[in-house]
Chain A
Amino acid sequence: MAADIISSIFGDMTPLAAMIFLLIGALIMPAVQMFGKKHTVTWCVALLMVILSFVTDVILLTNDVEATYLGVKLNTYTTLMSMLFLIVLFLVVLVSNVSTETTKNHAGAYYALLFGATLGMLFVASSSSLLTIFVGVELTSISSYALVALKRKDGRASEAAVKYAIIGGMSTALTLYGISMIYGIAGSLEINDLANYVTFNDFTWMFGVGLICMIAGYGFKIAAVPFHMWAPDVYEGAATPVSMFLATGSKKMGLAVFIQVFMAMFIISATAGSIFGLTVQYIFAIIAAITMTVGNVVAIAQPNIKRMLAYSSIAQAGYILIILAVMTPQAEAAGIFHMFTHVFMKGGAFLIVGGLICAGIGEKISDYKGLAKRSPFLAAAMMLFLFSLAGIPPLAGFTSKFFLFASAVGTPGAADGTWIWLAFIAILNSAISLYYYARVVKAMYIEKGETTEKIKIPTIFTVAIVVCLVFVIVLGVYPDLIFGYCEQATEFLL
């Protein structure tokens, strides 16, 4: 019913429906700011556009609509991933009006950039050609550089933006170089054709080098080790809502690229056990193992909570990369599900950090001493988010990690043990990660703070935190809410 209305409005362009709202939003934001003059007006319009886009997307998702328009696909996978990006955008926009870090910026430009970046993410999720994916990624990246730089007065932000732009540019160059090599040898940019190519052809060095370039280029986007150096600096320097946007949204786009490009390309040859597939699987297994280990180990030493969260999200990306080593539909579903739970738990943690910054509390872990006395709700929420990140039942992080690690052990009837070592490394990492999460909990609950004065954070922050909290608990005890869609989405990989 609702889906029919959307189809009748957009006609052939239904696959673009959610993106159109974002595009309109991105284009009108500066004008709204100019004529409306007030930040709050701009904020309301922005929120409206996000909600419109989100509702459209959810309707398309729940009605299983399938369509294609000029190569832009619409199916469960694209709508599911779009929903993820729109949730992130919603949370970020929601708190942007009250966060002291973002209201000082030119609101029109800020929201326009956020919309532009999200538009790129949606475009990536709907594409099936290396070229369109590349375009989408670039749209997101360039908007993100500007978003980081928007916190103009802060030296750290400028440094972060420069670093981000230079490294981003380098990764773009690498990616493009890789794509051109692959095009040169395979003669196509469509993922389907490339999947056929790797299944039926022998390994060639040219293709291999192209592939490595692409893995490195997109590896920068998800901050996989050894391409992760920029992430902590950027997350630390940017305004907290923007850090959250990068850590939850932008990084998920990178992972979506990994699924759509590498997983789609090699899943057939991996299942067939050809040497090409196996090599790629091992490359990803090693990247995954190193990424999660480095992320977790370095996080232990971080005194700044935003840096700690940055390293922890590097580690989380490592967990998700397991799916590229395992290369089964079960793993893909688990990976997508983990992206969702990660949005809520990591997003929630960043929201609390952002909210506390508004209340005048610093970013150091030592600033969190005695928080349980000053704000029992925030301390409890933070504890739940961190425990969820560490994978403690019955929270969402546990359930999604359970699915992820289960997929690494094998598939029903075939616990063949090829990737069981990866599951072990992941599990050891989970244990390591507990240590630094528990450190924050300890600071909040056990250590005595200098004052016991109550903290008040903006109400909207509380609302956003509650939203995350509800999902962290609900997805933990009732994963079917989203996991069913994740499994459906795997059918549209190719």
Chain B
Amino acid sequence: MSMILSSLILVPLIGAIIALFMGGSREAYSKYVAIGFSAITLIIATLLMLGIFGDFADLGESFVWIDTSAFIMNYALSVDGLSILMVFLTALLCLLVNVFSLDEHRENNNYFYALIMAMEVGLMGVYMAADYFLFYIMWEVTLIPMYFMISWYGGPRRHYSAIKFFIYTHVASLVMLIGIFAMGYESVAAGGVVDFSFEAIKNGIGAVAVETQSLIFALLFFGFMVKMPSVPFHTWLPDAHTEAPTEGSVLLAGVMLKMGSYGIIRICIEALPEAAAYWQWVIIAIALVSIIYGAYGCIAQTDLKKMVAFSSISHMGMVMLGIGCLSDAGITFAVFQMFAHGLITAMLFMVCGMTGHKVGTREIPLLGGLAGKMPIYATFMMIAFMASLGLPGLVGFWGEFPVIMAFYEFILDNDVIWMLLFCMLSLMLTAGYYLWAMQRTLFGPETKKIDLSKAHDVGHYEFAVLLVLAILVALFGVWPDGALQFIDDYVDLLAFTGVI
């Protein structure tokens, strides 16, 4: 059995352990260790995606891990069209944040890199797990490093934000855990042995009454929804982002939020399709509220990073909307939006983090006319904002527009044409807050409220990272098929098995 998938977990794990013990005089080199190991991970992930190791769907691994009289838990990994994109995104962003932070000098730098690598371990595990027990463990593993990332390296209110982040997501994941138990126990006959692998539970749960299924769906959905996050359980996100260091924000928004939507598709939709149909209107409603509320929230923010955090809520609402359509197009482009948002939001948070760093404040009212002073920075910011508001030709367009098309189909089928208003409103608001923010920050007369004499443009490493992201944003903007080919395979399979 090949160990390719395990190596995606093992390589960052080794990196994390080595970095952890590089205290004292070796501390300065810990960043190179982190870059080295995350680069290896990215290479493996890229080769995997390109099919160099053969069809990645055949590379699954499965071992029985815990075997008791009541249940079996497996160490099972597998990759398909849905997870490969997320695996690639994780590997990419982890390497990029490591490079991005090269110029930064922190106390205990080695812990910082160990945390990033540990997070990569958890994220890879979540996206590749094919067993509920493993999935849950990895889900929790991502939580701890992020908690420490915020509470050790964050801004002034970091302790409050870190604990809030922790409690919100931990409670949600525990509720999800109960859902997992219930699903496992319902999937077998009395006296049987519960096999917690995705496959076994999917086969067993179909025969259960729809009422029970929808109850289980609700438990699981709650866990994922808080992670995404959807209104009304979103309040941890703006706080976490405002206080987290740039690197933490990039990983949090870029790949960790996707764990929520990934979970919904992978578990809620795949295993409990009937329940998904039962809750469809609730999902749509939550999605619409998140989109609109997130967008309104953006307008009210004065902190650039907080604004981007609210925009994440809005954009993840878009993912939820695509999923809620429960149609071929809806899910396809919801997944694409996950990928697109991962790339764009990484850029956004890097640019906004740099604002705080280079200029000294992220408060929009204090900024102004930065384009003249920092042209390269301004260019990247514009690219990121434009991509995020869905400008055709950039990757964001393919995440947003087709989702609305899919929703339009849903609207026609259900004869609720007035719901289109919400979509139009959201597009308008999104364009509005981005353009307004850009105008106030980059253009106009140079601000007199803060001292700009020390402000300097992007550094070499930051430039390289942003350039890579900008190229990808443009590349997948004109060639969405690069990502869609994987998603299509996956969604075809969903359609074939009658899930949607």
Chain B residue contacts of A387, Cβ below 8 A? 144
Task: Judge whether B266 is part of the interface by a CB distance below 8 angstroms.
Answer: no
* Residue of A409, A423, A484 ringed by the most chain B CB atoms within 10 A: A409
Q: Please, how many angstroms separate the alpha-carbon atoms of A412 and B185 in the complex?
A: 4
Task: Judge whether B174 is part of the interface by a CB distance below 8 angstroms.
Answer: yes
B50 to chain A, nearest CB (A): 32
Contact of B137 among A393, A409, A438 (CB under 8 A): A393
Asked if A431 meets B193 with Cβ closer than 8 Å, knowing A392-B144, A412-B71, A480-B68, the reply is: no
* Residue of B137, B189, B193 ringed by the most chain A CB atoms within 10 A: B137
A274 to chain B, nearest CB (A): 20
Chain A residue contacts of B373, Cβ below 8 A? none
B144 to chain A, nearest CB (A): 7
Task: Judge whether B358 is part of the interface by a CB distance below 8 angstroms.
Answer: no
Chain B residue contacts of A483, Cβ below 8 A? 66, 68
- Can you give 12 A-B contacts (C-beta < 8 A)? A330-B70, A333-B68, A393-B140, A403-B68, A406-B71, A406-B185, A412-B191, A415-B186, A417-B182, A446-B159, A478-B66, A487-B69
Q: Please, how many angstroms separate the alpha-carbon atoms of A410 and B159 in the complex?
A: 38
- Given contact pairs A403-B68, A442-B159, a sample of 10 additional A-B residue pairs in the complex whose CB atoms are under 8 Å apart: A406-B181, A412-B185, A412-B191, A412-B193, A415-B181, A427-B171, A427-B177, A431-B170, A442-B151, A446-B152
Task: Judge whether B67 is part of the interface by a CB distance below 8 angstroms.
Answer: yes
Q: Please, how many angstroms separate the alpha-carbon atoms of A406 and B194 in the complex?
A: 11
User: Please, how many residues of chain A have a CB less than 8 angstroms from a CB on the other chain?
Assistant: 40
Contact of B192 among A402, A409, A412 (CB under 8 A): A412
CB-CB contacts below 8 Å: A400-443 with B: 402-403, 405-406, 409-415, 417, 420, 423-424, 427-428, 430-431, 434-435, 438, 442
Chain B residue contacts of A413, Cβ below 8 A? 185-186, 188-192
Whose C-beta in chain B lies nearest to the C-beta of A380?
Answer: B20
Contact of B167 among A333, A420, A431 (CB under 8 A): A431
Q: Please, how many angstroms separate the alpha-carbon atoms of A420 and B182 in the complex?
A: 9
Q: Please, how many angstroms separate the alpha-carbon atoms of A398 and B163 in the complex?
A: 20
B137 to chain A, nearest CB (A): 4
Q: Please, how many angstroms separate the alpha-carbon atoms of A423 and B174 in the complex?
A: 10
Q: Please, how many angstroms separate the alpha-carbon atoms of A414 and B212 in the complex?
A: 12
Q: Please, how many angstroms separate the alpha-carbon atoms of A399 and B137 in the complex?
A: 10
A246 to chain B, nearest CB (A): 30
Whose C-beta in chain A lies nearest to the C-beta of B133?
Answer: A402
Contact A409 B170 (CB under 8 A): no
Chain B residue contacts of A424, Cβ below 8 A? 175, 178
Q: Please, how many angstroms separate the alpha-carbon atoms of A345 and B152 in the complex?
A: 25
CB-CB contacts below 8 Å: B218-246 with A: none
Chain A residue contacts of B152, Cβ below 8 A? 445-446
Asked if A394 meets B141 with Cβ closer than 8 Å, knowing A431-B170, A442-B159, A487-B69, the reply is: yes
Chain B residue contacts of A414, Cβ below 8 A? 185, 190
Contacts from A to B (Cβ < 8 Å) = 330, 333, 376, 387, 392-394, 398-399, 402-403, 405-406, 409-415, 417, 420, 423-424, 427-428, 430-431, 434-435, 438, 442, 445-446, 478-480, 483-484, 487
User: Top 9 nearest A-B pairs by Cβ distance?
Assistant: A413-B190, A415-B185, A393-B137, A409-B181, A427-B174, A431-B171, A393-B140, A415-B182, A413-B189
Task: Judge whether B136 is part of the interface by a CB distance below 8 angstroms.
Answer: yes
Contact B190 A405 (CB under 8 A): no
Q: Please, how many angstroms separate the alpha-carbon atoms of A479 and B166 in the complex?
A: 26
Chain B residue contacts of A409, Cβ below 8 A? 178, 181-182, 185
Chain A residue contacts of B159, Cβ below 8 A? 442, 446
User: Please, how many residues of chain B have a CB less than 8 angstroms from a CB on the other chain?
Assistant: 40
Asked if A410 meets B185 with Cβ closer than 8 Å, knowing A405-B178, A420-B178, A446-B152, the reply is: yes
Chain B 130-158 per-residue mask, 1 if CB under 8 angstroms from chain A, else 0: 00010011001101100110011000000
Q: Is the interface of A mostly helix, strand, loop or mixed?
A: helix
A174 to chain B, nearest CB (A): 36
Chain A residue contacts of B190, Cβ below 8 A? 411-414
Contact of A480 among B23, B67, B136 (CB under 8 A): B67
Contact B66 A430 (CB under 8 A): no
Chain B 118-136 per-residue mask, 1 if CB under 8 angstroms from chain A, else 0: 0000000000000001001
Chain A residue contacts of B148, Cβ below 8 A? 445
Chain B residue contacts of A480, Cβ below 8 A? 66-68
Contact B151 A446 (CB under 8 A): yes
Chain A residue contacts of B192, Cβ below 8 A? 412-413
Q: Please, how many angstroms separate the alpha-carbon atoms of A403 and B67 in the complex?
A: 12
Contact B167 A434 (CB under 8 A): yes
Q: Please, how many angstroms separate the alpha-carbon atoms of A314 and B163 in the complex?
A: 24
Chain A residue contacts of B67, Cβ below 8 A? 480
Q: Please, how many angstroms separate the alpha-carbon atoms of A376 and B194 in the complex?
A: 41
Asked if A438 meets B166 with Cβ closer than 8 Å, knowing A412-B192, A480-B66, the reply is: yes
B125 to chain A, nearest CB (A): 10
Whose C-beta in chain A lies nearest to the C-beta of B67?
Answer: A480
Whose C-beta in chain A lies nearest to the C-beta of B170?
Answer: A431
Chain A residue contacts of B194, Cβ below 8 A? 412
Q: Please, how many angstroms separate the alpha-carbon atoms of A392 and B191 in the complex?
A: 29
B179 to chain A, nearest CB (A): 10
Contact A411 B178 (CB under 8 A): no
